[in-house]
Amino acid sequence: MDRKNSIERLILSRCSKYHDDGEVLKLLEDRYSVDSLQKSYMVLQSTDGGFTKAELLKSSSSRKRSKKKKESIFKSLIRPVEQKSGINRHSKFYGKRTKNTFKQFIKQNLKLQKDTVKSLKKLLKKDPKCLDKLKDLAELPLCSKILKFEDFQEINRLWNNYAKELIGTTDSITVMTSKLSTCEFIGAFVEVTHSGCINNIGQKGIIIWESQHNIIIVVPRAGGWRSDISVTNPKYSYSELIGGLRIINKEGTRFKFRVNVDSKSPTSTEEPCYIEFEIIGDRLMVRSIDRANKKFKNHAVRDIEL
């Protein structure tokens, strides 16, 4: 008896209700007997109602159907493009990420610009004077889908207000540069002053994307340094005529931009006051999200090529 019920005896001995081993042994001997208080059957009392098995199955199936219906509605709203294009729905990364979508958008636009230049060359070979009657190259059906500089001027206006508010009323150049070094440059109008690539020198445009090593700008049609020099009829390349996107590497490149610090009204006839800054691309090879928390120290820089 002791060996069979050793665990139960040990547990009952720890209980404050039983004071000695005799009471514990008596309880273990009398359990489940007909004469004792402990009965070998279970009494089931009536309840006040509830779900039957059929009702439970029916309610669970209806919940599953409603859940599937909601999921199908959300999927049709979020990913209508992927379902039409025939992408594998069972893949791990079925939903497109914003970063991948933007990369695809940039690649498509660069390819479109390249194809447009080829088509423009073929068109000019057939008829060299076909562009003489056009005031703007954007009127051509070939160039209708290329990104236009005018569509991003509103972003540049918002950035100018943001930079002006960021600088504030301070007159210290050190404070201004420390604030601008950590600010967001998407929307700023920049000009490339120095670059290892000759074709990038003189490029002007609005920044639409900044990564760790590159910036992407939208340049105006027939714009750049040739429009600033005193030439009556400057000659532009085909890529300069159509404008569009340009990817510029930060390494070995310097950019120039200016901030309006004048508090005069826009209807004023006086010329606005600007402060011009220059960005050293080698010192700014940091992601914008990491640059916001980075502290740039003032020290002598010897490896900059003038």
Q: What is the mean pLDDT of residues 40-69?
A: 62
Looking at the predicted structure, is the pLDDT value of residue 108 above 60? yes
Task: Tell me the pLDDT tens digit for each residue of 240-270.
Answer: 888 889 999 998 899 999 888 776 555 556 6
Helix (H) or strand (E) holding 194: strand 189-194
Looking at the predicted structure, is the pLDDT value of residue 117 above 60? yes
Q: What is the mean pLDDT of residues 195-213?
A: 90
Looking at the predicted structure, is the pLDDT value of residue 176 above 90? no
Looking at the predicted structure, is the pLDDT value of residue 283 above 90? no
pLDDT reported for residue 196: 87
Task: Tell me the pLDDT tens digit for each residue of 235-246.
Answer: 778 788 888 899
Domain boundaries, the chain: 147-291
The pTM assigned to this predicted structure is 0.62
Q: In what order do the strands lie in the sheet with 214-219?
A: 244-249, 214-219, 204-210, 189-194, 254-260, 274-280
In the CATH scheme, what is the code of domain 147-291? 2.30.30.210
Query: Quick check: 136 and 220 in contact, CB under 8 A?
Result: no
pLDDT reported for residue 222: 77
Nearest of 204, 220, 296 to residue 258 by alpha carbon: 204
Looking at the predicted structure, is the pLDDT value of residue 47 above 70? no
Gyration radius from the chain CA atoms: 38
Q: What is the mean pLDDT of residues 44-63?
A: 64
